[in-house]
Structure 1
Amino acid sequence: MSLSPVSLERQLKLYKGLVEVSALINAITESSELLPAILEVARRVMEVEAASLFLVNGDGELELTYASGGIMAGTSAPEARIVVPRGRGIAGWVLEHGEALLVPDAYADPRFFKDTDRQTGFRTRSILCAPMQRKGKEIGVLQVLNPIGREAFDEDDLAAFRAYGDLAATAIDKLRTIERQQEQQRVAQEFAFAREIQASFLPQSLPSLSHVHFAATYRPALNVGGDFYDVIESGPDEIYFVVGDVSGKGMPAALLMAQALSILRLIVKPGISPVAAMARWNAMISGHTIRGMFITAMLGRLVLSTREVELCSAGHCHPFTTAQSGVKEIKIPGSPPLGLLPELPSRSHTLTLAQNEWLVLYTDGLVESFNREDVPLDGVGVQRLLSREFASATDVVDGLNRGEINHRQGAEPHDDLTILVFGFQ
């Protein structure tokens, strides 16, 4: 049966509209521009009073996202929020069944959700509604209301509108892919910036003395954390050192790490004890940290002439010493991490390093290094790695690094790792 000139002209107009929508999808990459544009084309080409787009929200219900024409023209604001419960109304039926639907008389169809008209004051006569699905996933529904100059839609309208629904789903899927990629790029840039902050605050070189050897390593995990270390020469006979770990990841941890190191460098003066420096450090940090964040740290002072080391801990890992005589874990009387309490009760521990004895400080990325079976290296594993003779501080750091990598067996590191070693030769 041949089509009448009027019907042929209308179908040609419908499919020219589809070409126009396809061009929009390829040209526009912002949802705030593309989705309203698709609706406007659908309303103009289908010659209808109103068009609307509902997306599936986090509760699995349909929520009006954009509307064109009618009393809800330009709707996208929260105050105009319209939600259609799943399975209710024409839109809910279309979503649930995944089928496009032609409703010649809305009020004669028991599936019609009259509450929307009551909310908006708009009078719905006839409806075309098409599901938006992509790769088996529900996205939402697209619908047009009330053909202009006609009482109801017909089957020709329905065939074209199915294609509109498919194109709209393609557009939304494309936009979400772009947004995910942009978010991934933003996160990657944030991590890169955070790592640059960390690297700029870590020491660029360690003290170079004939009888004292320092070595350190810092390895960030896949996600940026807040590990740090520093070695500060405060005079010809006195060196301060610190290893610490900021809780959390990303930019907040990197910024707190930078702030903490800057404050500590202002505090450290010749003759100040680690306990006094730690207390002052905590007082200056407390009240300025983001809620829930804190810092663990091991702060110490080395007196070169006596080889005496004074250590003070704020909730940090116990250090080790390693020498020909064996490996020892140094139990430091602990106190809470920095930033949790306004006053920090702490005590110090003093030891004297023998010739060729190495003091090993580290963050929990070492003992909490997990292999593919989720087994940690733990303190026993670290002692085992240290149970051999080392020629230098660099040798100690390299040995711990290799041992930690071997323990992971190819598993990705889940935390930053920092090691600081020094001793007399």
Structure 2
Amino acid sequence: MALGVPEWRSWSTVSLAAVVIMRVETLEKGPLACLTAQRSRDPSPSGYHPRMPSSSLNSTFCRPPFQGPILRLNPVAGPPLEPIELTRAGGVIGRGSTCEVRLVDPTVSRRHASISCQDDHWLIQDLGGANGTLLNEVKIENEVTSILAEGDRIRVGPWSLQVGTVESTSMAMRTLDDAGEQDRVRRVSPAETASLARHRLNLFIECAGRINQAIEEHALWDSILVSALEGSGFGRGALLRSDAQAESVEIIAYRGLDGGVGGRPDDLSRSLIRAAAEGDIAQLLSDQQPDYGQSIADLNIHSALCCPIMVDDVVAASLYLDARGAEATVENDAASFCQALVRIAGLAIANLRRRELVERQQRMESDLSAAREAQRFMLPPSRGTVGTLPYAMQFQPGRYASGDLFDVMPLPDGRVGFAVGDVSGKGIGAAILMAAAQSHIHSVLMREGDPTAAARAVNEYVLAHSAVNRFVSLWLGVLDPVTRDLSYVDAGHGHWALCLPGGEARSERIAAHPPIGIDADTSFEANQLSCEPGARIVVMTDGVVEQPREDQEQFGMDRALAVLGRCGTPTEDVEALHSAVCEFAKTDQLADDTTIASIQMPMG
């Protein structure tokens, strides 16, 4: 705080994207002259401070994805709700008792939407809620994943939740408590503003064209303000967002009488903004001067107007205009002009936001497609024989690039290496680590033929080259087709089974070692197993056993063993188990990456 300056008058700057945060005090009276009203409303109690999205300094068409270890959701509309923080584990939004973000309302589904963090990018997905999920007033298609950006608004039922911390992304301002003048707020009916004067039509068309030519949000905001000031005669304008209480707002953009941009208006009328937040156009007119305090009377506002900008029946922002002192007279049809202007602005905002979501989705799909193509290039054939050992593999990535790894290789001494693993997380980062780990395992096994040495080497590699939150569960084995001996290391995996020719399938279910990339001091030791002729080793990733159905019950290892007990070849193993999981889930779009691999010892 500046020395000798009251806290509420101090200015502070934050070096996050060069965003300036400014606040002013709450004033008890407004600088408003006489107000007229068509109907009155009871004044709302003070003390609630709505928070809204970012200023024009960081509001652009292609905003960067939100990144950070904690995602903060700030409620900006709806019933009272504390801010919500999600870790990288993400969570489900819904009214169910197990949801991480619990919103109890009949319009919210039990599992309404989910938020996850992949490769430091935060994603939201609608889970098929009856009333849908809106992102920036645009409905998210069912089962489609969208990237979240700083300042995005998520609408679920009656709540609107803003992504990020408002204090670091926007310019906030308190409004004037003019509740005592509430009965003088005139709400302008659509019938009263139904027509534009003919001599103003050309100006309106020019303004509409300027708005629709904007290709990014900050340019769109500026176009709206320039057009509103030119067509209305007001001296200054601001684009704001607030909730219905309107005790404080956040300034998206501001333009003064001198044409300067940025900054802030001195004070704002809470009554006007509250009316606009409810979807009404509100206008203040002056025909007398009440006795306000000198600091407020000096503002000398003689006219003001506030119009809601609607996007899909939701108030996306409010256009606030005022004129003071000896400034030029406001046009008689200012309300009509601005009403038509905000309709054009609402359509333009909706189009920009839809385009932004489409571009985010296209960029994500392009990156994921490239990652999937690289994975396919590294995978061995799905069916085949290595030496004398037949094997089969079923690989199905989830909605993101897969972090599952699979490799089978003939070793120089005639034995066969066999590896299945699962990198924590999803997306491009998991796919890259998977490829690097698989290459490292392959190289060490070909050189040394020892699963213990390979596990130690890849553990050191992952610890040295990946983020602290990345690890790999890995089952790594070497099979001898002559002796039918199996030497294997289970590093945090546990999902594998030994299937015998007589129909028995059993699993240890507990890994002997922690996952790869957890601890540099882990001492990996191989287990030894002598197999019967024709025995099969089936390894699967957690996408199989942890696949849920509608009631959230998981497929589980018991069901997997029951399916494998009815099979007799590697191909039957992977096909039957995959089909059983899909049938259990009632969909072939599984929740996670799914890899099933089976290899069989010689019969004789």
Sort the TM-score into its range (normalised by shorter chain): 0.7 to 0.9
| 1:94-153 Cα shifts (integer Å, max 9, x gaps) | 334432222234995899xx89x99xxx87543222111233312111133338986543
Q: Is the 8 A contact 1:129 1:143 kept in 2?
A: yes
Corresponding residue number in structure 2 for 1:202: 379
1:67 counterpart = 2:254: yes
Could you say which residue in structure 1 is the equivalent of 2:280? Answer: 99
* Inter-CA distance 63–146: structure 2 relative to 1 (3 Å threshold): same
The AA in structure 2 aligned to 1:93 is R
3-state SS in 1 of match to 2:411: strand
1:230-282 per-position Cα deviation (integer Å, ceiling 9, x unaligned): 11222141221210001111111112112212222332244442122211210
Q: Does 1:293 align with 2:479?
A: no
Q: Distance in 2 between matches of 1:361 and 1:109?
A: 81
Q: Following superposition of structure 1 onto structure 2, how do residues 10-409 of structure 1 map, counting pairs within 5 Å? A: 11-56=197-242, 62-70=249-257, 73-75=260-262, 80=263, 89=270, 91-105=272-286, 108=289, 124-146=301-323, 152-153=329-330, 155-204=332-381, 208-209=385-386, 211-325=388-502, 326-330=504-508, 333-390=511-568, 392-409=569-586
The answer to whether the 8 Å contact 1:125/1:152 transfers is no
Between the aligned partners of 2:230 and 2:407, the Cα distance in structure 1 is 67
Q: Distance in 1 between matches of 2:529 and 2:365?
A: 44
For this pair of structures, how many residues does the alignment match? 403
Cα distance in 2, alignment partners of residues 230 and 51 from structure 1: 64
Residue type matched to 2:237 in 1? A
Structure 1 residues 393 and 370: CA distance shift in structure 2, 3 A: same
Please state how far the C-alpha of 1:26 moved relative to its aligned partner. Answer: 4.2
Aligned to 2:59: none
Secondary structure at the aligned position of 2:342 is classed as helix
Question: Partner amino acid for 2:371?
Answer: A
C-alpha contact (below 8 Å) 1:332/1:349 kept by paired residues: no
Q: Check 1:194–1:105 CA distance in 2 against 1; reply closer, same or farther (3 A cut).
A: farther
Say which is worse superposed, 344-353 or 381-390, in terms of deviation: 344-353
* Deviation of 1:309 (Å): 1.0
* 1:209 CA displacement: 4.5
| Equivalent position amino acid for 2:379 in 1 | L
Change (3 A) 1:194 1:72: farther
* Cα deviation, residue 34, structure 1: 2.5
2:280 is paired with a residue of what secondary structure? coil
| Counterpart residue identity of residue 559, structure 2 | G
Equivalent residues of 1:238, 1:270 under 8 A apart = no
Q: What is the distance in 2 between the residues matched to 1:306 and 1:319?
A: 21
SS in 2 for 1:375: coil
Give secondary structure in 2 for the equivalent of 1:414: coil
Describe the shift of the 1:411–1:333 C-alpha distance in structure 2 as closer, same or farther (beyond 3 A).
closer
| Cα deviation digits, residues 284-311 of structure 1 (max 9, x gap) | 1114222322110101111232121111
Shift of 1:82: 7.6
Per mean C-alpha deviation after superposition, the further-off stretch among 249-258 and 60-69 is: 60-69
Letter of the structure 2 residue corresponding to residue 171 of structure 1: A
Closer/same/farther in 2, CA of residues 332 and 134 from structure 1, 3 Å limit: closer
Report the RMSD for the aligned CA atoms in angstroms.
3.3
Post-superposition Cα deviations, 1:37-87, rounded to whole Å, max 9, x if no partner, equal 222222223344333222349x98532222234367222xxxx478989xx
| Residues in 2 aligned to 1:162 and 1:281: alpha-carbon distance in whole angstroms | 65
User: Counterparts of 1:289 and 1:311 in 2: how far apart (Å)?
Assistant: 25
Distance 1:173 1:332, change over 3 A: closer
- The residue number in structure 2 matching 1:4 is none
The AA in structure 2 aligned to 1:307 is: R
TM, length-normalised to structure 1? 0.84
Q: Aligned residue for 2:150?
A: none
Q: Distance in 2 between matches of 1:383 and 1:110?
A: 84
Query: Shift in Å at residue 341 of structure 1?
Result: 1.2
For the 8 Å contact 1:369–1:413, the answer to whether it is kept is yes
Contact 1:62–1:83 (CA under 8 A) maintained in structure 2: no
CA distance in 2, matches of 1:108, 1:358: 92
Highest CA radius of gyration, 1 or 2? 1
- Decide whether the 8 Å contact of 1:282 with 1:342 is kept in 2: yes
Report the 3-state secondary structure (helix = DSSP H, G, I; strand = E; otherwise coil) of the residue aligned with 2:333.
Answer: helix
Distance 1:72 1:28 in 2: 19
CA distance in 2, matches of 1:143, 1:109: 22
Once the two structures are overlaid, the 10-residue window that deviates more, 369-378 or 413-422, is 369-378
The answer (yes or no) to whether the contact 1:386–1:396 under 8 Å persists in 2 is yes
Structure 1 residue 22: Cα displacement? 3.1
Residues 234, 328 of structure 2: 8 Å contact kept:
no
Q: Indicate how the Cα distance of structure 1 residues 199 and 150 shifts in structure 2: closer, same or farther if over 3 A, else same.
A: same
Structure-2-length-normalised TM-score: 0.60
Q: Report if aligned partners of 2:495, 2:542 keep a CA contact under 8 Å in 1.
A: no
Deviations 1:335-373 (A, max 9, x none): 111112122233322112322211101101111122233
User: Is the contact between residue 99 and residue 131 of structure 1 (CA under 8 Å) also seen in structure 2?
Assistant: yes
Structure richer in helix, relative to its length: 1
Q: Is the 8 A contact 1:14 1:46 kept in 2?
A: no
Corresponding residue SS for 2:465: coil
